[in-house]
Structures are given as structure tokens and as C-alpha cells.
Amino acid sequence: MSKPLIAFQGELGAYSHEACREARPDHDPLPCRTFEECIDAVLDGTADLAMLPVENSTYGRVADIHSLLPKSGLHIVDEAFVRVRISLMALPNVPLSDITKVRAHLVLLPQARNFLKKHGIKAETAADSAGAAMELAASGRRTEGVLASDIAAEIHGLDVLARDIEDHGHNTTRFLVMSRQPDHHRRGDLGMITTFVFEVRNIPAALYKAMGGFATNGVNMTKLESYMVGGSFTATQFYADIEGHPDDPNVKLAFEELRFFTSMFEILGVYPAASQRH
């Protein structure tokens, strides 16, 4: 019997693939070209879940994701955190001393600047690190390396020449697991996270008033981000994470107050807090 599928953006061996393996080891990965393709794969039943990155501890939020989520028709059912560990890989039996150039995604290259400088290796941007590993495996280029995850080396038959070469050891990406159906009935051992979007009414100090209910009811808001809707400078949508479940009495009261000052309010997901938060 075939396993359920979890869609992710990128090639096999991408950090999103690593997130899939860690968070859903009972699912087979389904690589997709774009975030939209991941979402569509779940909507049309090709995949059961999607793994989408939302933010990185070094680079901030992932572009376009916050605007895609409310329109996706999917629900957040889990979160996952992946430490971005960078490995330098090359064709089998190639020593590090032979490597003159490495390719990787734009955001990886600056994170290994010290290592590359020390070894006199030039950096070249690639559209996708795992894709660069796949290309290298087929190319036969023995003076070229790739910066990517260990999984990419494992999948594409490359040798890892150096591990954990990132300049800083704290770089982490947060992912959301998306499903066609919400799963609001679970209770996590470490608490719950509720993610929602809203637009405030066009009245003075609306955002300040909308947020007041969370403060007075002791609800901790861990994220609040704004972004424009439809390219308009006047229409602003807010994306928020809070600690708690909509059925909790204090969260219920906070949401009641929020609704009074908003023209749109939608819960995107209720899911257990991951251990990496604590």
C-alpha cells in the first residue's frame, strides 16, 4: 500500500524535504516547482499535505507566503522547525583542495562566507541548492561543489567534504504543515498555537483597540505582521499567531473583542506548539 504524499517546493534534498522527513516520516515527499503547485496538489487530492516555509530566523518571512495562505483554502495543522545545516558536497573521490567554485541558493552563500574565504572558493548563485546538487551529479565537473543539506548529497550520490560550515549556528526555518481539513480537536503537550488573519475597520485607532482584548485577557501574541492587499496602500491585512486555543475562555473573549473592530477575521489553523519554541 502506497504511503500518503506531502508536497514541498524544490527538488529532493531541499531543506523543505528535510522538514517533511522530520515532521512526517510516514509520508512520501512530492517535489513541486512553486508554492502554488504545492497548494494545488493538496487541493486536487494529489497530495495529502503540504510543507510550506513561512519564516527564517536570519532572513525574516518568506516572500509571498503570508498572502498565499489566506487564499489557499488549506488549514494549518502543524508547525516544524529545521536548523539550516550547510554541507559542502562534490563528486565522489574529489578532495576539498580541488574545489574552486561552489553553487547554492542565494540565501545560503553568505552564511558560509568565512569557510569559502578560508579555502579560496568562489561562490555562484543557483536557483535551488538541491537542484544544483542534482545538476552537479550529472555534470562530471570535478572542481565544482554545492552547498546544501546532507540529504541532497545522500539522494544525488555526492560526497560530503565538510559539514556545518555556516558562520552562525542559530539559523532556523519555520514551516507550516497544511491540510484540506482543519484539525482543531487536538491538545498539544506544550500548548497550542492559533494563526489567523484580519482586517481592521476604518475607524480611528482600530488596530490599537483590536489588540486590547489580547492584553486584557492575558493572551500572548507571538507574531503580528502586516501586508498590503491587492497592491493597495490603504487596504492592510494582518497575520497573527497567538498562544492558546479558540475554545480557551480568555482566547474566546479576546476574539470577541477583535471581531468588533475588524471587517474580516479568519482562523487559518489551530495546532500544537512545537518543542523548538520552548
Please list the active-site residues. Answer: 173, 175
Residue 211, SS3 per DSSP: helix
Backbone phi and psi for residue 54, each to the nearest 5 degrees, phi listed first? -115, -30
Integer distance in angstroms from the first to the last C-alpha of the chain? 37
Please name the amino acid found at residue 109. Answer: L
Distance CA(87)–CA(277), nearest Å, equals 25
Stated as kind and residue range, the H or E segment containing 271 is strand 262-272
List, in sequence order, every beta strand (DSSP E) within 91-171: 101-105, 122-126, 144-148, 159-162
How many CA atoms does the CB half-sphere of 181 hold within 13 Å?
Answer: 4
Distance CA(40)–CA(77), nearest Å, equals 17
Neighbours of 133 (CB within 10 A): 32
Backbone phi and psi for residue 248, each to the nearest 5 degrees, phi listed first? -65, 135
DSSP bridge pairs for 87: 148
Q: How many residues belong to the chain?
A: 278
